Amino acid sequence: MTDAQPATDMFQGINPATGEALPGFFSEATVDEVAQACEQAAVAFATYRQKSGAEKARFLEAIAAEIEALGDELLTRAQAESGLPLARLTGERGRTTGQLRLFAEYLRDGSWVDARIDTALPDRQPLPRPDLRQMLRPLGPVGVFGASNFPLAFSVAGGDTASALAAGCPVVVKAHPAHPGTSQLVGEAIERAVAASGMPAGTFALIHGRTTAVGMAIVEHPAIKAVGFTGSLRGGRALFDAAARRPEPIPVYAEMGSTNPVFFLPGILKEKGAALAQQYVGSVTLGVGQFCTNPGLSVVQRAPEADTFVEESGKAVGQLAPATMLTKGIFQAFTKGIDKLSQTAGIQVLAQANPADSFANGTPTLLTTTADAVLANPAIAEEVFGPSSVIVQANDREQLLAVARGLEGHLTATVFGTDAELADYADLLAILEQKVGRLLINGFPTGVEVSHAMHHGGPYPATTDSRSTSVGTNAIVRFARPVCYQNFPDALLPDELKASNPLHIWRLVDGKRTN
């Protein structure tokens, strides 16, 4: 970043609430600069991959401390670039540093490497068994793309970076152009942690750029061995396709969008439909509808209690006010999406907040349609990123199940019901289990806990790999691969596989878990 008069290849951050340019100029990285960062990461990998879990843990903790040391400067800049309130950003900073420290704890435990040992059986007939020892080892340098909707927790030091560094992989981050100043501050904090922790130069690099060429240069560089991405289906698919075209294809772990359907069963609506309507609208519009898990689709069965729910949901939306979206481009895409939906056959606009003039104010919108319309036109169920949702009204149980069967992959699905009807709708739960990565009962999906058991992923098009998560400690395995060591002398084995188990980790030894 520089405050000097910019060259033509430089840009500034933009305040989405006002449209004004923010202080500081950022350079569009050249292909040569991207290549240099990737090559330095490859050199660093030779050393960084050998760092112990304890050393990497201290490094991650140092990053967390450096981010916290930025204080209000970081929060103020993030607010100016994102339009998000300070309270939200304060919590997001805590989530960012918290997940870094969670991975540090996970590294100190050490069992994540999934060590497996089959001891030699020299006398086995008809053939002896060799000594076989397997564990997860880091893939290599990882390219990470910062997300627009979480300028801290899914950005420069977010989950993808934390899990890749924890696995032993250097990281090259492409900062999101919507918050370059925030990204620069965090990137410099990580660089300070690299130096303070004695990690090799090249363990981390931050690249700025507004063009797709910068991102593609990272994905296409032969030193990069995997990619983490959070963003649109179009962007994620473009990176995935580029990675597949490489002479050496690499995995792209892309989270690309989801409407997170919510099914409201009749009994629960009869008991508490009005309250659920308020909570539903609150979840739809949380963060101006710019979370990965806002429910953009709900399904009810036609009945008087469903009519009440629809009516109360409309009233709740009508009482809301527009709010600043992350960027002008996101606002324009949201407006275009709502216009397209409202002009689609079978869809009606149920309610909208009173519009307000602003540079990028998104207007909460609730639409309604029939199950017949969705079954005839599945595109109705596609994500419109922003504060909106479509209520689908099914004629009966069988039509509700048909809507569920027709869904594409999503991050989450939720079912609200009484105890009795949840048991009665076991077939609905079985259908949804095949459609999502996280299935909820009687709770809205906004809010993703960073923990060991969390899974934040889902079948395509929600992600490019439904087996992986971008949240929680299991994210580390995306950036590791199994290596088997056959008949190795004990002295040459990693500590995780040595006979004495010096790290005291859990291992699978001759088929039995032991530490």
Q: What is the CATH number of the domain that holds 356?
A: 3.40.309.10
Q: Can you point out the beta strands (E) in 175-278? A: 204-207, 226-230, 252-255, 262-264
Q: Which two tokens stand for residue 264?
A: 């409201």
β-bridge partners, 416? 264
- Across 126-284, where does the E strand assignment appear? 132-138, 142-145, 171-174, 204-207, 226-230, 252-255, 262-264
Tokens, residue 115 = 């060590």
Residue 5 pLDDT: 47
Q: Is residue 116 part of a domain?
A: yes
Half-sphere exposure of 469 (CA within 13 A, CB side): 19
What are the backbone angles phi and psi of residue 472, rounded to the nearest 5°? Answer: 95, 165
Name the one residue in this structure whose structure tokens are 């909570």: 279
Nearest to 394 by CA among 303, 308, 311: 303
pLDDT of residue 495: 97
Tokens, residue 209 = 């750029």
Q: What is the CA radius of gyration of the chain?
A: 25
Residue 437 CA to residue 11 CA, distance in Å, equals 38
- Name the residue with tokens 């540093």: 97
Task: Please say if 484 is a catalytic residue.
Answer: no
* 54 and 128 belong to one structural domain: yes
Q: Same domain, yes or no, for 73 and 178?
A: yes
Report the 3 state secondary structure along 139-162. Answer: CCCEEEECCCCCCCCCCCCCHHHH
Asked whether the bond before 126 is cis by omega within 30 degrees of 0, the reply is yes
Regions of the chain short of the pLDDT cut 50: 5
Are the CB atoms for 377 and 345 separated by under 8 Å? yes
In a domain, 515, yes or no: no
Closest CA to 147 of 208, 229, 81, 218: 229
> Using CB atoms within 10 A of its CB, is residue 209 exposed (0-12), middle (13-18) or buried (19+)?
buried
User: In this predicted structure, what is the pLDDT of residue 287?
Assistant: 95
Do residue 177 and residue 241 come from a single domain? yes
Q: Is residue 219 part of a domain?
A: yes
Is residue 1 in a domain?
no
Same structural domain, 273 and 227? no
User: Is the domain of 341 the same as that of 370?
Assistant: yes
Query: Which residues are registered as beta bridge partners of 205?
Result: 172
Quick one: 291 and 375 in the same domain?
yes
**Whether residues 320 and 421 fall in one domain:** yes
Model pTM score: 0.96
Residue bearing tokens 């980790």? 505
Catalytic, out of 61, 81, 255, 383: 255
| Bridge partners, 485 (sequence order) | 133
Domain coverage including residue 298? 262-441
H or E element that contains 107: helix 86-109
In this structure, the answer to whether residues 172 and 291 fall within a common structural domain is no
Residue 154 domain flag: yes
Q: Which residues contact 41 (CB under 8 A, 6 or more apart)?
A: 141, 170, 171, 172, 202, 203, 205, 223, 224
Omega of the bond leading into 461 within 30 degrees of 0 (cis): yes
CATH code for the domain in which residue 179 is found: 3.40.605.10
Omega before residue 482 within 30° of 0, cis = no
Selected catalytic residue, list 28, 66, 92, 292: 292
67 & 156 share domain: yes
Which tokens in the block code for residue 449? 């806990």
Structural domain contains residue 375: yes
Together in a domain, 49 and 101: yes
- Asked whether residue 22 is assigned to any structural domain, the reply reads no
What spatial distance separates the first Cα and last Cα of the chain, rounded to whole Å? 49
- Please give the tally of structural domains in the chain: 2
Q: CA 183 from chain center: how many Å?
A: 17
Q: How far is Cα 254 from Cα 470, in angstroms, rounded to an integer?
A: 9
Same domain, 283 and 323: yes
The amino acid at residue 104 is A
Residue 5, in any domain of the structure:
no
- φ, ψ of residue 135 to 5 degrees: the values are -155, 165
Per the annotation, the verdict on 305 as an active-site residue is no
In terms of domains, do 238 and 377 share one? Answer: no
Reported as a single tens digit per residue, the pLDDT across 263-282 is 999 999 999 999 999 999 99
